[in-house]
Amino acid sequence: MTETLQEQQAACECGVCQFEVGAAPAVRFFCHCTICQAYNGKPFADVTVLRARYVEVNDRSQIAFKKYRLPPNIDRGLCKNCGKPAIEFGGFGSAKLAFIPSINFKRQELLPPPSMHIFYHRRLSDAADDLPKHSGYLGSQMAVGGRIMRLFRGGGG
């Protein structure tokens, strides 16, 4: 699997926070951790990840960034207008990543299919699918981190 260039747009629910995405999203997964539950106001997060350098934010002043807990060291941005999740920035090793709620992408058909569930021990309800389900902090981090690192191998930060 390689990163193919593919432009598309993403935006928060009200459209004030807009993002130009310059590459095909890399990894998509479901996260059941309590922070994602609170941040999204949903039982779990559906997140799509790509390198931060491929994402252009139209106006950062419209986004309220907040760190919930360390680690992972993720800046989670809420739109100041609609209060909904806009975009998150974080890193795995030297790779700077953007985490975008999958629902924020304009062209859903360009997104990869979800590949796994993480923090599954925090789930509010069971998932009716055959995707791998990772529980525990370390197991969840390693599952996602390993997948991202394999994908980005050789491509630098």
Find the binder of Zn ion among 1, 6, 9, 14 (CB under 5 A): 14
Does residue number 103 form part of the binding site for Zn ion (CB under 5 A)? no
- 29: amino acid identity, one letter: F
Whichever of 49 and 79 has its CB closer to Zn ion, that residue is 79
Query: Could you tell me which residues come within 8 angstroms of residue 143 by beta carbon, excluding any fewer than 6 positions away?
Result: 116, 118, 132, 134
Q: Which of residues 70-99 bind Zn ion (CB under 5 A)?
A: 79, 81-82
What are the strands, taking DSSP E only, across the chain? 8-11, 18-21, 27-31, 45-51, 55-57, 63-67, 75-79, 85-92, 95-101, 117-118
Per-residue x/- mask for Zn ion, residues 27 to 66, rule CB under 5 A? ----x-x--x------------------------------
Q: Which stretch binds Zn ion (CB under 5 A): 14-22, 89-97, 108-116, 134-142?
A: 14-22
Please answer whether residues 12 and 102 qualify as being in contact, where contact means their C-beta atoms are separated by less than 8 angstroms: no
Before 25, cis peptide (omega within 30)?
no
Q: Which stretch binds Zn ion (CB under 5 A): 5-13, 18-26, 94-102, 124-132?
A: 5-13
- Residues at the contact surface with Zn ion, assessed by CB under 5 A: 12, 14, 16, 31, 33, 36, 79, 81-82
